[in-house]
A and B are shown apart, each in its own frame.
Chain A
């Protein structure tokens, strides 16, 4: 509970203090929740299902303010509360928007924590929308002619998806025994096949837009490219995970009857998205755009993994969510720092940055390697599991998805090559303490998970097994 409230209070404090607030203080604020998360881990453990840690009647006795904790929630809380400090430390420029963006980022942290902890369908929806508000305003601070248009497109996209989800949730709500939005009650609703197609489809749409999977992605590149770095990091690092988390936590348990129907479509689209994103990324000039499409490609693989419904796919997807959060934030941080120093992020205009800032080069390289999924970096185990799961589902699809490991190497190293290597005149200013700290946190993630992915797997294992059981039970009934 506190992890939701503290950041929101902190954001108010930041607004109240205005320009006087030093960065270290806001970073400290954002670091507080992770201590609480640690406490949760200690108190609750990761076994024994999704345990409620706070429960109050809210709108009615059956629509409650309920937050819970388990391994899956825990891992995403760690991700959120570790990345937000990174974003605040490294991702916010010291200009007139600093206070605003910092406050919004902190607010977002609270909302995201809420999304990952909510145990009540209505609360989940409310936090889901709440998380959209700060990012909308952050995106609006961008400069450029199309600002409003791009923001509107982004907003409408996600909002339409959300509405579909709301409709589905309400439908479920009306069919619960005691008119409750509680996760367990919603889950207990037995749907006919047709009903589940609609209900599942609604929920699925919200998540697919957020992830985004192939035909729903056109908000992504423009939004990423034009949003201030903090917004891009929030979007790519954490918000995308909302969609994936939603698939695992809400879609699979609530509408397992419809999975049979959607499975081939989603996997097909995802694999197409993997290739599509990768192919487009190969020729992008704008680094942010490049990473946006690479993100599209990577996340699509995660979605495919989830929908294979294999152990490897489900647990690999959580692992890869975590990893992708780190890597995406890392890459955008790198781009942000390059842009701050040189004023451009167009590949043709850069080059030779490695010459005078070795430290930065090392950070960049490590994160790039993580993205390329080289062994002993964090990208590898997750991608291995996901490809394995897709392979179990269909060999040919796995081969196509596997092409991404080639394309990914092509575009990431192309980016490294044209920005860091070669003869160029640009320089990257020496990193400040806050940037080094931000990179430090990320690098620990990159290397640590590279060697010990099992740590994360162990945390989420119980939750995932539970979800897998529900799904297989429902499918057992179906067949």
Chain B
């Protein structure tokens, strides 16, 4: 399938809808699930949705900046996953739980 071909048949809006749906699914997961690991995973999902959109725009507009941005996002996501999981392990070690609703100390 050549490049021009897919551009002729798939509009940018389709990617927009796709990534929006993915994003919403990820968001729903963040809101709905209580397991911290799943939460982190859902965040990754949301990030990927954004990545997909960035790439789509980048390609459609013929500008590589979007892809560079995706690259950076991946970097940050990796760092976030590492630190997030480390924190999670620590929390688990202290509380024997990974349930976020258990963490209700975050108030003044």
Q: Do A and B touch directly, given a CB cutoff of 8 Å in the complex?
A: no
- Seen from chain A, the residues whose Cβ lies within 8 Å of a Cβ on chain B are none
